[in-house]
A and B are shown apart, each in its own frame.
Chain A
Amino acid sequence: MQLKLIPDSLHLPFLKFRFISFIASGLLILLSAVMFFGPGLNKGIDFEGGIMIEIKLDEPPVLSDMRSSLGSLGLGQVSLQTFGASDDILIRVQRQEGGNEAQKIAVDAVKAQLAADYGDDISYRRIEFVGPTVSAELVQTAIEAVLVAVIAILIYIWLRFEWHYSVGAIAALVHDVILTIGMFTITGIEFNLASVAAILTIVGYSINDTVVVYDRIRENFRRYKKMEVKDLLDLSINETLSRTVITSLTTLLALVALFIFGGEVIRGFATAMIFGVIVGTYSSIFVAAPILLQIGLTHHNEEEDGFKPSTDDAIDSEQ
């Protein structure tokens, strides 16, 4: 006999806790909003413009010396951090006033200063600078990409299901995106292009999870014509719970491997994804399904919606 993570007989009354989960989610969303509009995101150079240089030295340098040396160049805010190893330093210089060319001049100044301080022992692992033109465009494209993705998915769900499901799915989705952005503001993890990729993947994952639960709810509406909606939702969540948990676990296993072994550059991405998977799983169960009850999905709605595809007709008629 194999391991069963979720016993067959398990029947948790999820809907009973819906007000608790709604309040919890609401508070987390509020916290995310406060953090977002307060301290804000730690935007990387992709979105803020500026310079990022990663160097590796033969020996770990004294960071305070390096900081004061580079700080004396008059380039504004210069931040240093070790990146994975103590001899691996990430230097970030704020965006320079004076347009695109000013960035390049600043890069040259930093390199000249480093060469003066540390000689030829520096290996430049990465040099990136993004001018104000490009960073402004990247911000716009990122926002557009997330909006277009959400709308496209909304349309798909609306075509495949009844409108109540669309509302529920989008509520869960927006919930996940807001909380993930909140996570970025609270942890101070750099928000860059890879973070947008992470958010869009979370969008895909969250919807994926939600759709599996919704598919079952729809199926059960057809099977149990007399069951109370609340019980029916509970039943559907419980029936799909095993799958929801197992898929989240396998995805998390892969992501944790990525987080631990995938290297420093990818760690922020892995962190966001791990958080997103957990939140996405939570929201499918505690937000997406209960909200259907809240907005008044009934048997009547389902019957009116006769043309939508069904999952089980073919099989049942065979038996």
Chain B
Amino acid sequence: MLSFPKWKAALVVIVCLLGIAYTIPNFVPKSALEGLPEWAPSKQITLGLDLQGGSHLLMQVDTDDVRAKVLDSLLDQVRNNFRNDGVRIGYRNLKVTGDKVTFSLRKPEERDAAYEALRSISSILSNGQQSHLIELNDDGSVGSIQPSEQAYTDRISAVVEQSIEIIGRRVNETGINEPTIQRQGADRILVQLPGVGNPQRIIDLIGQTAQMTFHLVDLTSADGNAPPGSKKLPSLNEEGRHYVIKNRVMVSGENLEDAQATFSQGQPVVSIRFDGLGGKQFARVTTDNVGKPFAIVLDGKVISAPRINEPILGGQAIITGGFNVQGAQDLALLLRAGALPAPLKILEQRSVGPDLGADSIAAGEIAGIIGLIAVAVFMIVTYGLFGLVANIALAANIFLIMALLSVLGATLTLPGIAGIILTIGMAVDANVLIFERIREESRNGKTPSNAIESGYKRAFTTIVDANVTTGIAATILFVMGSGPVKGFAVTLGIGIICSMFTAILLSRMIITFWALKTRPQTLKA
């Protein structure tokens, strides 16, 4: 018997009403939504960067640099532990060889003490392994200590976390709204900056390591070449100029407490303030080297090398270096936010200007509306009254898709809009399957109510089979796709679920009630 339980009908109606309720906020200006009570639907669909404009940056921590630094600091540790309070172990040839720190002991009898000294460097890692592999032959003539792969992994992981924090500070200082900065994989960082159309300055800010150090200038170099213990570095702002500076870091940017852009004698400069330790180091260097130039180095380039006129004891100093206002502000910002623990490489950048995004939305809307009208007219021409029912289901389908996108906080991308429009075309498929079946059953001599009933029942498995296969494709796109493609998979997947709901329940309910009310003698479908 043709029937549709009341409770089911109530459920279908409630779901559809909820769909409409949760779609409405998308057509209301954001300001109007703020006054609404807590329970009222107020979420809007999040637009992807390709629709609202913005930048997507994929960066990778320079792992070679991290590994080199791990070995450098291991070398220092070994040196320290061999010459620690009380311990005095004679060694020679201490150096980094490949991925090991190697050395040989002067006296075989110090072998055990040396082994102990190395053991204290090694610790137990998160996975329960020792952090370092120590090899020392019996007479101590050949020895090495090597960080385990896990130790590198842990270190890289820490560097990524630290970098994310520092990038976050830098981005926040520029006043960009709702940036997303997240880790991706072992050594990558994804930065998404909505609303930034021409992001060159921001990218420069994010990508800069901003490692600042202070060095004495090597005055012994007569011919401009660097003697041992010194290096030749280019100037930051003066093209073609080079400085020869001593390798030893006198004060490091890590000891900065604050940095501000200001003016000195009409020129933009950056005023810096050191913390306690930095202040002391700075005071000592400037006291001991009055009259000599002191180089300020940023990421391997010399900002300037002013002469020390008098000892600077207050822990405050000014950096000059031919800045413009923006340059001084950016440097101050970078110094305040801190240096990145390792350089970052940009692997991928995608920036979309806000006007292109707006154009894409407008084009998508027009295409959607025209597609919708075309499909709706076609359905009415082909199926008459039943076509009207299919169109009601289609409208409900679109509301449900938009409602789900809003509630789930899914991101709508340009391919996502394409997915919705495609769904408009494919959503009627379930109804087409049902109506064709009803026509057939009716042709085979069934009464209208029997034809309707068996039409829905028989089409059901076909609809499920057909949609599961498309669902598989959507799921795989979602799992394996990235960015915009993921957005497409989300709308396609939601579209499949919504179209099955509207075809199997909503259109069935309407047609059942219509048939029960009018008791048609023949079906025109």
Q: Mark A277-319, 1 if CB is under 8 A from B, else 0.
A: 0000000000000000000000000000000010110110001
| B364 engages A262 (CB within 8 Å) | yes
| A124 engages B349 (CB within 8 Å) | no
| B355 engages A125 (CB within 8 Å) | yes
| A253 engages B375 (CB within 8 Å) | yes
Q: Mark B366-390, 1 if CB is under 8 A from A, else 0.
A: 1110111011001101111001000
Tell which of A33-41, A183-191, A207-215 binds the partner.
A207-215
B339–chain A nearest beta-carbon distance, Å: 19
B428 lies within 8 A of chain A by Cβ: yes
Give A49's nearest chain B residue, CB to CB.
B348
Q: Which of A3, A54, A251, A315 contacts B457 (CB 8 A)?
A: A315
Q: Mark A89-105, 1 if CB is under 8 A from B, else 0.
A: 00000000001110110
Cα–Cα distance between A249 and B466 once the two chains are bound (Å)? 17
In chain B, positions 87-138 with a C-beta closer than 8 Å to chain A are none
In chain B, positions 322-368 with a C-beta closer than 8 Å to chain A are 345-353, 355-356, 359-360, 363-364, 366-368
Cα–Cα distance between A207 and B417 once the two chains are bound (Å)? 23
Question: What A residues does B480 contact at CB under 8 A?
Answer: 141, 144-145, 148
| B360 engages A242 (CB within 8 Å) | no
Most chain-A Cβ atoms within 10 A of its Cβ — which of B346, B363, B454, B524?
Answer: B363
Cα–Cα distance between A211 and B367 once the two chains are bound (Å)? 29
Tell which of A21-29, A72-80, A194-202 binds the partner.
A194-202
B461 lies within 8 A of chain A by Cβ: yes
Question: What A residues does B214 contact at CB under 8 A?
Answer: none
In chain A, positions 164-210 with a C-beta closer than 8 Å to chain B are 193-194, 196-197, 200-201, 203-205, 207-209
B288 lies within 8 A of chain A by Cβ: no
Tell which of A12-20, A62-70, A128-136 binds the partner.
A128-136
| A266 engages B472 (CB within 8 Å) | no
Grouping DSSP codes into helix (H, G, I), strand (E, B) and loop, the B interface class, with mixed when no group exceeds half, is helix
| A5 engages B382 (CB within 8 Å) | yes
A263 lies within 8 A of chain B by Cβ: yes
A196–chain B nearest beta-carbon distance, Å: 7
| A254 engages B488 (CB within 8 Å) | no
Question: What A residues does B429 contact at CB under 8 A?
Answer: 208, 247, 250-251
A200-B477 CB under 8 A given contacts A194-B484, A309-B461: yes
Question: What A residues does B469 contact at CB under 8 A?
Answer: 153, 156-157, 204, 207-208, 211
B485 lies within 8 A of chain A by Cβ: yes
A49–chain B nearest beta-carbon distance, Å: 9
Question: What B residues does A216 contact at CB under 8 A?
Answer: 462
A250-B467 CB under 8 A given contacts A100-B347, A152-B476: no
| A239 engages B440 (CB within 8 Å) | yes
A315-B424 CB under 8 A given contacts A3-B381, A133-B347, A254-B374: no
Q: Mark A112-145, 1 if CB is under 8 A from B, else 0.
A: 0000000000011111111101100010010011
Cα–Cα distance between A118 and B35 once the two chains are bound (Å)? 47
Give B426's nearest chain A residue, CB to CB.
A251
Cα–Cα distance between A216 and B433 once the two chains are bound (Å)? 11
A59 lies within 8 A of chain B by Cβ: no
B525–chain A nearest beta-carbon distance, Å: 8
A257-B421 CB under 8 A given contacts A128-B350, A262-B363, A314-B457: yes
Q: Which of A130, A194, A265 contacts B360 (CB 8 A)?
A: A265
Cα–Cα distance between A15 and B368 once the two chains are bound (Å)? 38
Question: What A residues does B370 contact at CB under 8 A?
Answer: 257, 260-261
A219–chain B nearest beta-carbon distance, Å: 8
B409 lies within 8 A of chain A by Cβ: no
| B473 engages A201 (CB within 8 Å) | yes
Q: Which of B50, B372, B378, B424 contacts A249 (CB 8 A)?
A: B378
In chain A, positions 251-273 with a C-beta closer than 8 Å to chain B are 251-258, 260-263, 265-266, 269-270, 273
Question: What B residues does A145 contact at CB under 8 A?
Answer: 476-477, 480-481
Cα–Cα distance between A101 and B349 once the two chains are bound (Å)? 11
A265-B414 CB under 8 A given contacts A1-B524, A128-B351, A257-B367: yes
B388–chain A nearest beta-carbon distance, Å: 11
| B371 engages A54 (CB within 8 Å) | no
Cα–Cα distance between A204 and B374 once the two chains are bound (Å)? 23
B471–chain A nearest beta-carbon distance, Å: 8
Question: What B residues does A273 contact at CB under 8 A?
Answer: 422
A311-B458 CB under 8 A given contacts A101-B345, A134-B347, A258-B418: yes
| A204 engages B356 (CB within 8 Å) | no
B60 lies within 8 A of chain A by Cβ: yes
Question: What A residues does B468 contact at CB under 8 A?
Answer: 156
In chain B, positions 451-495 with a C-beta closer than 8 Å to chain A are 454, 457-458, 461-462, 465-474, 476-477, 480-485, 488-489, 492
| A197 engages B488 (CB within 8 Å) | yes
B390–chain A nearest beta-carbon distance, Å: 10
Cα–Cα distance between A126 and B461 once the two chains are bound (Å)? 46
Cα–Cα distance between A123 and B465 once the two chains are bound (Å)? 49
Question: What B residues does A204 contact at CB under 8 A?
Answer: 469-474, 492
B153–chain A nearest beta-carbon distance, Å: 19
| B433 engages A254 (CB within 8 Å) | no
Cα–Cα distance between A239 and B426 once the two chains are bound (Å)? 20
Question: What A residues does B439 contact at CB under 8 A?
Answer: 8, 242
| A127 engages B422 (CB within 8 Å) | no
B425 lies within 8 A of chain A by Cβ: yes
Give A52's nearest chain B residue, CB to CB.
B350
Question: What A residues does B356 contact at CB under 8 A?
Answer: 54, 125-126, 265
| A247 engages B426 (CB within 8 Å) | yes
| B351 engages A126 (CB within 8 Å) | yes
B310 lies within 8 A of chain A by Cβ: no
A246 lies within 8 A of chain B by Cβ: yes
| B425 engages A128 (CB within 8 Å) | no
Cα–Cα distance between A138 and B387 once the two chains are bound (Å)? 43
Cα–Cα distance between A312 and B382 once the two chains are bound (Å)? 26
B195 lies within 8 A of chain A by Cβ: no
Q: Mark A199-238, 1 if CB is under 8 A from B, else 0.
A: 0110111011101100110000000000000000000000
In chain B, positions 389-436 with a C-beta closer than 8 Å to chain A are 414-415, 417-418, 421-422, 424-426, 428-429, 432-433, 436
Q: Which of B367, B378, B414, B467 contacts A260 (CB 8 A)?
A: B367
B84 lies within 8 A of chain A by Cβ: no
12 interchain pairs, CB-CB under 8 A: A2-B387, A2-B524, A124-B351, A128-B350, A141-B480, A141-B482, A152-B472, A156-B472, A197-B488, A247-B433, A257-B367, A266-B418
Give chain A's interface residues, CB within 8 Å of chain B: 1-3, 5, 8, 54, 56, 99-101, 103-104, 107-108, 111, 123-131, 133-134, 138, 141, 144-145, 148-149, 152-153, 156-157, 160, 193-194, 196-197, 200-201, 203-205, 207-209, 211-212, 215-216, 239-240, 242-243, 246-247, 249-258, 260-263, 265-266, 269-270, 273, 309, 311-312, 314-315, 319
Closest A-B pairs by Cβ, 9 of them: A254-B425, A263-B363, A204-B473, A257-B371, A251-B425, A204-B470, A254-B371, A125-B356, A261-B367
14 new A-B contacts at CB < 8 Å, known A204-B492, A211-B469, A263-B360: A108-B200, A123-B355, A127-B349, A127-B350, A128-B349, A148-B476, A193-B481, A196-B485, A243-B433, A250-B378, A250-B425, A254-B425, A262-B418, A266-B414
